[in-house]
Amino acid sequence: TVSVLWFRRDLRVSDHPALLAALDSGTSVLPVFVLDPRLLETGQPRSRRLITSLRALADSLDGHLVVRTGNPVDVIPQVAREVGAESVHVTRETTPFGRTRDAAVEVALQSEGRRLVATGTPYAAGPGLVVTQSGAPYRVFTPFARAWRAHGSPPPAAPPLRIPWFDGDVGGLALPAVAAAGGPGGIAGEAAARTRWLDFLAEGRLGRYAEDRDRPDLDATSRMSVPLKYGEIHPRTLLADIASHPDGRTGGAATFVTELAWREFYADVLWHRPESAWEDLRPDLGRMSYDDGPETDRLVAAWREGRTGYPIVDAGMRQLLGEGWMHNRLRMITASFLTKDLHVWWPVGARYFLDQLLDGDIASNSHGWQWVAGTGTDAAPYFRVLNPLRQAHRFDPEGDYVRRWVPELGHLAGPAVHEPWDHPNGYAHGYPGRVVDHDAERREALARYELSRR
Ligand code: FAD
């Protein structure tokens, strides 16, 4: 019998429990990917990155990958019918969209006497598994992280020696040709992810991670968010490599593991509270007033395009446009600027990030935004409005990051680049003036906060 392996957020072959389950249940495996037009619409950079990753996967499957377009509710039962498969294997999906879709596919398969078999998740500990002693979900991060560490994860699954891919005639699409995406999205696939990860380890960046991770001017983070998003590498593999690495007991390694725990925590929160994808986790603060209308639209456009007149904010937004990725510190600074300096409701920014980020992930993105906006799990207290200038001097001390992304300020040396208004020729090359005054908007944000609490 043939079993179908339906790939989604697990575009790799090694350490793939669902692939092993498919091998167990059939004599051959038909690998399928469904290009769902609903997902392709969500963001050009991400669709391009997906196609690049699929090409790499198709190569590693010796061309056996079958790609079809359409709604999986129709396509998956159709493929199973064509080859007479009794079971379709997947990695369990835990997002609201994925859960609804998979439930519908399961019903469609069952109506024809076939099974949808879910094995493993894209997480070290599947969402919903780490609970308090009374069985309740964790609501804040630190106790979750402690319990998550104690829970542990199974060791990476050994790769199968030989995979008997289904060799029969099954029609599929040729993958669309896409221009190689630039930046971190440019390379894709399991082998590239592995190389990038091993470089990160080999170059000693894990040991220095705790000190350097907040510095966007240094290339100090792993950039694993994109491969993790597509499942080109599994977090279990990262954790196992860290545990056996000479730097595995450093403070850097501990901090890195904590960051992976944030990813797991946000997926867990979304699992228990699917509505938190677009709604405030703390509705008591949801009554805060936000702005909209033409003037706000103009400000949001300036934010998106990196023309706010605050160099550190603009550098971050331009990195997002240029690379489809943004350093975590910049995600915090730019999100704070939108919600607190421009008084825009966080889902407006979250939607834009999700469309532009190659690592765009509903759980980490929406909850990252809520953290900044002050409505989330471990919300940054609302009164802590990030000051773009102080952040710039602290985390980009020589101004190198800003100069990389804002060429109109390239003539200002050192940290002077953070304050073009203090230099007689600061605006000589067309850099825009500030769209708002941070000190005034900070006071305004605090006043609105006080009002919403009355
Ligand atoms: P590293 O510093 O090397 O961290 C290693 C891994 O840990 C990351 O790849 C990621 O999987 C995880 N991680 C690190 N920080 C966080 C965090 N704060 N929350 C959750 N996981 C984390 N991350 C996404 O993967 N997708 C998103 O859509 C996303 N949107 C965000 C939006 C906002 C407003 C904020 C503040 C953060 C967001 N993050 C998101 C989290 C974080 O910014 C990125 O994961 C990180 O910048 C990716 O770079 P890296 O792989 O080099 O990270």
The ipTM, to two decimals, is 0.99
Q: Is the dihedral of CA 265, 269, 272, 275 positive or negative?
A: negative
From-to residues of CATH 3.40.50.620 in the chain: 2-120
Q: How many angstroms is it from 330 CA to the middle of ligand 1?
A: 11
Sign of the CA dihedral 120, 125, 126, 132?
positive
**Gap between the Cα atoms of 362 and 96, Å rounded:** 9
Residue nearest to atom 25 of ligand 1 (CA): 225
The answer as to CATH 3.40.50.300 being correct for domain 2-120 is: no
Ligand 1 neighbourhood includes 64 CB (under 6 angstroms): no
Q: Cα angle at 135 between 126 and 378, to 5 degrees?
A: 70
Q: Using CA positions, which residue lies closest to atom 47 of ligand 1?
A: 328
The reply, when asked if residue 259 is annotated as ligand binding, is yes
Answer yes or no: is the C-beta of 259 below 6 A from any ligand 1 atom. yes
Tell me where in the chain the CATH 1.25.40.80 domain(s) lie: 124-156+189-272
- The CATH number that domain 283-453 falls under is 1.10.579.10
Q: What are phi and psi of 31, to 5 degrees?
A: -85, 130
pLDDT value at position 173?
77
CA-wise closest residue to 407 among 437, 429, 425? 429
What's the gap in Å between 364 CA and the centre of ligand 1?
7
pLDDT of residue 177: 62
Cα of 8 to ligand 1 centre, how many Å? 20
pTM over 0.90: yes
Answer whether 386's CB lies under 8 Å from 332's CB.
yes
Name the residue with tokens 């964790």: 138
Q: How many angstroms separate the CA atoms of 400 and 243, rounded?
A: 34
Pocket test of ligand 1: the residue of 228, 337, 359 to mutate, having most ligand atoms within 8 Å of its CB, is 359
CATH 1.10.579.10 segments of the chain: 283-453
Amino acid at 136: A
Ligand 1 close to Cβ of residue 221 (< 6 A): yes
pLDDT of residue 40: 72
Chain CA centroid to CA 254, Å: 21
Rounded CA gap, 316 and 405, in Å?
Answer: 8
| Contact (Cβ atoms closer than 8 angstroms) between residue 304 and residue 429 | no
> Is 276 labelled as part of a ligand binding site?
no
Q: Given this model, what pLDDT does residue 438 score?
A: 98
Nearest to 309 by CA among 357, 348, 355, 341: 341
| Any atom of ligand 1 within 6 Å of the Cβ of 331 | yes
Q: How far is ligand 1, taken at its centre, from the CA of residue 326, in Å?
A: 9
User: Which residues are CB-neighbours of 371 under 8 A, at least 6 positions away?
Assistant: 377, 378, 379, 380
**Predicted local distance difference test score (pLDDT) of residue 453:** 75
Residue linked to tokens 């001097």:
393
Low-confidence ranges of the chain (pLDDT < 50): 180-185
**Ligand 1 pocket, residue 368 CB under 6 Å:** yes
**Residue 360 marked in a binding site:** yes
- CA 161 – CA 138 distance, rounded (Å): 40
413 Cβ neighbours under 8 A, 6+ residues apart: 399
Determine if residue 401 is labeled as part of a ligand binding site. no
Say which CATH class 124-156+189-272 falls into: mainly alpha
Residue 75 Cα to ligand 1 midpoint, Å, equals 33
Q: Is 369 in the pocket of ligand 1 (CB under 6 A)?
A: yes
Measure the CA dihedral 226/229/235/238, to 10°. -10
Atom of ligand 1 nearest to the CA of 326: 47
**What pLDDT, on a 0 to 100 scale, did the predictor assign at position 184?**
42
Known binding residue 52? Answer is no
Q: Which two tokens stand for residue 134?
A: 């009374």
Determine if residue 225 is labeled as part of a ligand binding site.
Answer: yes
